[in-house]
Amino acid sequence: MISRRLLHIKTVPKLYATNIDSLNFSQSKSSPSVIPTIPTHELLTKLNLISHPHSGLINWLPIGLTIINKINAIIRSRMNEVNFEELQLSLLSHKSLWEQTNRLNNNQEIFQLKDEPFLLSPTAEEEITNYVKQNIKSYKNLPILYYQINNKYRNEKRPRSGLLRTKEFLMKDGYSFDINEKEAMNTYQNVFGAYINIFNDLKLPYVKAEADSGDIGGSLSHEWHYLHQSGEDLLFECDHCHSISNIEKTLSFPNEEKDVKDVSVRYFITKDGSTLVCAYYPSDRVLQPNFIKVEIDDIDVSSKLTQKEILSQFETNEQNEDSLMNKKIIRIMDSRLTSRSNFPDFPLSFINRSAITTFTDIPIVEAQADEICGKCEEGKLSSSKAIEIGHTFYLGDKYSKSLDCTIETPDLPDRQNLIMGCYGIGISRIVASIAEINRDSNGLIWPAIIAPWNVTIISVNGSTDPYNGLFEKLNDENVDYKVDNRAKIGLGKKINQSNLLGIPLIIILGKNYPIVEIEIRGKRYDPDGELAWKKLYESHKDEYQWKVEYDEGQNDVKHYVHKDGIISVINALLKDM
Amino acid sequence: MISRRLLHIKTVPKLYATNIDSLNFSQSKSSPSVIPTIPTHELLTKLNLISHPHSGLINWLPIGLTIINKINAIIRSRMNEVNFEELQLSLLSHKSLWEQTNRLNNNQEIFQLKDEPFLLSPTAEEEITNYVKQNIKSYKNLPILYYQINNKYRNEKRPRSGLLRTKEFLMKDGYSFDINEKEAMNTYQNVFGAYINIFNDLKLPYVKAEADSGDIGGSLSHEWHYLHQSGEDLLFECDHCHSISNIEKTLSFPNEEKDVKDVSVRYFITKDGSTLVCAYYPSDRVLQPNFIKVEIDDIDVSSKLTQKEILSQFETNEQNEDSLMNKKIIRIMDSRLTSRSNFPDFPLSFINRSAITTFTDIPIVEAQADEICGKCEEGKLSSSKAIEIGHTFYLGDKYSKSLDCTIETPDLPDRQNLIMGCYGIGISRIVASIAEINRDSNGLIWPAIIAPWNVTIISVNGSTDPYNGLFEKLNDENVDYKVDNRAKIGLGKKINQSNLLGIPLIIILGKNYPIVEIEIRGKRYDPDGELAWKKLYESHKDEYQWKVEYDEGQNDVKHYVHKDGIISVINALLKDM
């Protein structure tokens, strides 16, 4: 096979020719000045990273696909480190499994095939559990740890043009099967560590939001987010205990006694029908029924009964006088309410007053910034919009139970349900988020590890022949570069287009050779406070005949280096990008 | 990120644990002796390369996915060499495009979504043409050369359990767009060369079968096959001109005058309705209507009229006496017929005898072995069953015309239809074919370039610690190995299982270390007649303390080599596998 190094030079002109020449704004009629004002998803389309054949569908074009492949490589490396194995399940799943787990019912978001019993998998819990059930031979094979990277489908009724809310999206989904809860927790922690590594590799700051695990208990579910004003999620962070959680899960107390005047009430019934729960909360706030569950775990938050129907079950009349004797009422008052608030009238003429219990000072509405953290009850909450890019979830036996995925163990008489976890990363969402978060008035900016390529090389006079020695060195050291040797395109335009695409570095080869010019485009991430190139500069400044040009904010924008130092300097510059 | 070399050793025990321990036949109740008798697709399933969640659907399990990824790497490398760029189109395609190209009509093989205007793409001519149409800015961007590797869908009503005929299959599909026929031919030749490289890389002998390009003319369509008795295609090769073609396209003449007694006839009508074609052929042979097209290109081979309906249009009666005057009859006689054959009566009382033309000695039935090649009219045909694994096709403007994919050119007044080609490779079919063709009584045999891994390493006493120096060297040289260090599994079983999976080499580390034993499993491909290791053996036999053990057929089965020569010996052995 041809060596990769030859490919570098050979194929580049072609790659550019179809991917940059055909950009809309490379035509004279539209200028780069539109860049700052267009939405990011349009920028990605204009730059030929993606196209939308129809609303909610995505074609990944060559440059976009390169970014995807680089993200996938990070994910694979990190998942393999924690002993997960990659597989590729069929994208079609048989409806019968989804009927067993009760996930198909009225689910309008699942694409089904016409006249066939298949659906397009939105996730693969059913299929993977069924596969493991059919193939596991012994508890000794546990844990079983699989992941896949492929398209998922969801019939999103309001697709947003872009990559955040689409009918088809690229996702890494992992699944774990353990013999018991303890081992499953251990697996969860391993994946947790892998996720930290993955998102650290991607350089951008991220947050882990804790989430209740509902019926399972413990705090073994996390959402992974990039904070950004364009996000659809709202997170709260406590300035004391530093816990971060999604608005759906953030308990909060009022930070000062405010006079809440108008009070609303919503009625719930427990699953056994024995108890009426009257939830009182400020009329100007949003009730979060799941918070009531923290106090009354039997409450039916998804009941389809109307308020009237719920109340009627507790209304005294001739038929139910006896049965009412066994019924109870719980009044639950949001923490923000005081005795001065205007409570609505109690709607029932309930006889047994002793059956009424009242809970006060319970946080049951969605948090707001500046309120007190419901977790530590000390710190103040701040809010941020966020884009969810991953989740890790301890599933317990939810799927293994309904699909009968069990195993014999040496210690216990009965077959045991396998204990599962599932772990998602939204790969197309990561591309969209990073594009959105990092873009500036000159276009996109990719972290080096996922940039379409790391270095654009431009020869001022158009010919690369005088620099063959340099290219040999770049090839030997596997520098990820492309040469822009398109004819009849000026230097300025080539630089602009490389910057627009978010390539971290540009090397310009000109009459000062062997001194080479390096222009900086990549964003700096230096958590330790010291850029790697500065250290190298101290020790090799003279040897490399290295000069640096700074902008007004004292940021380095251009480096001039002797070709013999080029590899070390490039690597040092890329290290923090 | 962790270096690859650490991963090698770290993850192997786990990989084996889930992939080999759980094999059916690794349980004592079923023995490897069943291997020779089970169908290949069952072997692939038993070995956990794939599983079938439902008939016609495929899960690629970790080892199978590794093979797929290695095939994909070859395809990518070779397609990139001829300047094709990889992209990834949506798997969903909008029905409207397929209505424009008339490919959806009554096509029961296309999966459609329920209540949605989308279908699951079986191939992507429509979508890629539509994309190019919307995005191409100038003829200067031509040629546009794209390929993708992803799942394709076809509602196969009779899926065979296995990988050859499935509802979901992995395919590389490439598409080219050129400014004119000459350039398109050039692109076709480039892809043709890439395919030769791809199939040479895969080592197994293959054939290119020529195919008519129908309306387009020229011989610019090829099918790429592996010859094997399990195949569903039948190919003929001429021993004189060496042309190879599919039965559907092989013209042939009888090799000696045989007395054909019974003659059948089938009636056709030309598209303009003017001519009745009466095709006479031996009753014991299969008529191939496309062969009649070679002589009478206007013939309607897909007419839905019955024989009776066709004849009725030429039957004299009072209504049509006049119009019949303009109608003609052509009688076409297959080459195998003679004047001694029993022709059926002519069914019409047609008045105008002068309007009847008779062609004799035209080959219109499917060829049989030992007949004379219809191309050179010299050689004798031999037949072979074959599995189609790829096709290359010059499309002309078939799709660009119906989807209006056109471009302005400097030389011509009107916008020109782009001239297209399409190029497929059935990746899952390659896996199935190679498994089928190469298997023997000990299991599978993979060419080294796509083997799940190249070398299985087994330490006789179970510990790898004493051999750290050796592993360092293997890592430095990127040898693609896995260690089988499962506890409580005997050496013999480990060897059997590695062989069963088709791993080319096994290294056994034992008490003779630093002398290392290498067992041969891989199949030899030495087109030049000299195995690479033999050459190395001549020059390094003494230096490496190299001894070879042969079987009764004088094939080398074991090599004993000093650890310092291990890398060179492994590389030489793998070179021909």
The tens-digit pLDDT sequence of chain A (577 residues) is 333 333 333 333 333 333 344 333 333 333 456 677 789 999 999 899 999 999 899 999 999 999 999 999 999 999 999 999 999 999 999 999 999 988 888 788 999 999 999 999 999 999 999 999 998 888 988 999 999 999 999 998 887 767 888 999 999 999 999 999 999 999 999 999 999 999 999 999 999 998 755 444 445 789 999 999 988 899 999 999 998 999 988 999 998 767 778 999 999 999 888 889 999 999 999 999 989 988 888 888 888 889 988 888 887 766 666 666 678 889 999 999 888 888 888 877 766 677 788 898 899 999 999 999 998 899 999 999 999 999 999 999 989 999 999 999 888 889 999 999 999 999 999 999 999 999 999 999 999 999 999 999 999 988 888 898 899 899 989 999 999 888 888 899 999 999 999 999 999 999 999 999 999 999 999 767 789 999 999 999 999 999 999 999 889 999 999 999 999 999 999 999 9
The radius of gyration of chain A's CA atoms, rounded to the nearest angstrom, is 29
Q: Which of A85, A112, A202 to mutate to test the interface with B (most CBs of B within 10 A)?
A: A85
Beta carbons of A113 and B112 less than 8 Å apart: yes
Listed in sequence order, the residues at least 6 apart from B133 whose beta carbon sits closer than 8 Å to its beta carbon are B400, B403, B404, B405, B406
* Cα B77 from Cα A11, distance rounded (Å): 11
Cβ pair A89:B116 closer than 8 A: no
Q: Are residues A409 and A513 in the same domain?
A: no
Q: Each residue of B173-232: pLDDT tens digit?
A: 999 999 999 999 999 999 999 999 999 999 999 999 987 554 444 457 899 999 999 888
Q: Is B475 helix (H, G, I), strand (E, B) or coil?
A: helix
With CA atoms as reference, the chain A residue closest to B83 would be: A11
**Are A65 and B88 an interchain contact pair (Cβ–Cβ within 8 Å)?**
yes
Q: In this predicted model, what pLDDT tens digit does every residue of B320-361 receive, in sequence order? A: 666 666 788 899 999 998 888 888 888 777 666 777 888 988
Q: Name the residue among A77, A113, A140 with its Cβ closest to that of B111.
A: A113
CATH number at residue A409: 3.30.930.10
Tell me whether residues A51 and B131 touch, CB distance under 8 A.
Answer: yes
Which pLDDT band, with edges at 50, 70 and 90, does B540 fall under? very high
Backbone angles phi, psi at A110, to 5 degrees: -95, 125
CB A147 within 8 A of CB A172: yes
- pLDDT, residue A272, reads 87
Residue A52 belongs to some domain of the structure: no
Residue-number span of the structural domain to which A384 is assigned: 67-89+122-251+379-432
Compute the nearest-CA separation of B146 from chain A (Å). 9
Cross-chain residue pair A65–B77, CB shorter than 8 Å: no
Is the Cβ pair A74, B1 closer than 8 Å? Answer: yes
Give the pLDDT mean for B250-261.
83
For residue A95, being part of any structural domain is answered with no
Determine the average pLDDT of the residues in B112-131: 95
The residue among A22, A133, A203 with the most chain B CBs within 10 A of its CB, best to mutate, is: A22
Distance of alpha carbon A15 from alpha carbon A483, whole angstroms: 10
Answer whether A234's CB lies under 8 Å from A256's CB: no
Of B15, B57, B85, the CB nearest to A92: B57
Residue that is last in its domain, among A366, A395, A413: A366
What residue has token string 């690859």?
Answer: B4
Distance from CA of A121 to the nearest CA of B (A): 13
Higher pLDDT, A343 or B431: B431
Q: Is A295 found in the same domain as A173? A: no
The answer to whether the Cβ–Cβ distance between A59 and B15 falls below 8 Å is no
| Domain-located, residue A392 | yes
> What pLDDT sits at residue A290?
87
What residue of B is the nearest CA neighbor of A74? B1
pLDDT reported for residue A173: 97
- The answer to whether B21 contacts A140, with C-beta atoms less than 8 Å apart, is yes
Pairing type for strands A328-334 and A275-282 reads parallel
- Residue B406, in any domain of the structure: yes
Among the listed residues B418, B387, B13, the one whose alpha carbon sits nearest the alpha carbon of residue B175: B418
**DSSP H helices in B373-531:** 398-402, 427-438, 468-476, 491-500
Question: Which residue does chain B place closest to A139, by CA atoms?
Answer: B22
Q: Are residues B523 and B401 in the same domain?
A: no
The whole-model pTM stands at: 0.89
Residues A246 and A288 placed together within one structural domain of the fold: no
pLDDT > 60? residue B21: no
In this prediction, residue A215 carries a pLDDT of 45
* Chain B partners within 8 Å of A19 (Cβ): 85
**Domain presence at residue A58:** no
In this structure, are A11 and A156 located in the same domain?
no
Token pair recorded at residue A72: 């996938």
Beta-carbon pairs below 8 A across chains A and B: 172
The chain A residue lying nearest B63, using CA atoms, is A87
Contacts of B94 in chain A (CB under 8 A): 53-54
Listed residue (B158, B131, B161, B153) closest to B52, CA to CA: B161
Q: How many domains does chain A have?
A: 3
Same structural domain, A309 and A399: no
pLDDT at A288: 92
Pair (B213, B278) in one structural domain: no
The dihedrals phi and psi of A285, each to the nearest 5 degrees, come to -120, 170
Residues of B in contact with A62 (CB under 8 A): 85-87, 146
Judged by CB atoms closer than 8 Å, whether chains meet at A59 and B131 is answered as yes
Interatomic CA distance for residues A156 and A109, integer angstroms: 6
B205 and B344 fall within a common domain: no
Same domain flag for B154 and B302: no
Interface test with B, best of A9, A30, A93, A135 (most B CBs within 10 A): A135
Q: Kindly identify which residue of chain A lies nearest to residue B155, measuring between CA atoms.
A: A116
pLDDT digit string (tens) for B361-389? 899 999 999 999 998 899 999 999 999 99
- Model pLDDT, residue A34: 63
Whether A505 and A449 map to the same domain: the answer is: yes
Residue A356: what pLDDT? 84
Chain A residues lying within 8 Å of B167, measured CB to CB? 92
Report CB contact under 8 Å: A89, B53. yes
Residue A94 lies in a domain: no
CATH number, residue A294: 3.90.960
Three-state secondary structure call for residue A54: coil
Judged by CB atoms closer than 8 Å, whether chains meet at A21 and B137 is answered as: yes
Distance separating the N- and C-terminal Cα atoms of chain B? 33
Burial of B194 from C-beta contacts in 10 A (0-12 / 13-18 / 19+) = buried
For B60, nearest residue in chain A (alpha carbons): A88
A98 found inside a domain: no
The span from the CA of B391 to the CA of B424, in Å, is 5
Interior CA angle at A193 toward A189 and A199, to 5°? Answer: 140
The pLDDT mean for chain B works out to: 87
CB contact under 8 A, A77 and B2: yes
Cα B356 to the center of its chain, rounded Å: 44
Tokens of B566: 């291990």
* Same-domain pairing of A162 and A128: yes
Beta-carbon separation of B83 and A151 below 8 A: no
Q: What is the pLDDT of residue A352?
A: 67
When scoring A87, A126, A157, A418 by the number of chain B Cβ atoms within 10 A, the one with the most, hence best to mutate, is A87
Contact A137 B21 (CB under 8 A): yes
Cross-chain Cβ contact B21/A92 below 8 Å = no
Nearest by CB to A113, which of B14, B113, B134? B113
Q: A88 to chain B nearest CA, in Å?
A: 5
Nearest CA in chain B to A152: B91
pLDDT, residue A161, reads 61
Chain A contact set for B197 (CB, 8 A): 1
Candidate from A87, A92, A137 with C-beta closest to B61: A87
The answer as to whether A145 is a domain residue is yes
Q: What is the CATH number of the domain that holds A488?
A: 3.40.50.800
Mutate to test the interface with B, among A6, A12, A88, A176 (most CBs of B within 10 A): A88
A16, A52, A61: best to mutate for the B interface, most B CBs within 10 A: A61
Nearest CA in chain A to B67: A87
Is A18's CB within 8 Å of B93's CB? no
Do A511 and A495 lie in one domain? The reply is yes
**ipTM of the complex model:** 0.88
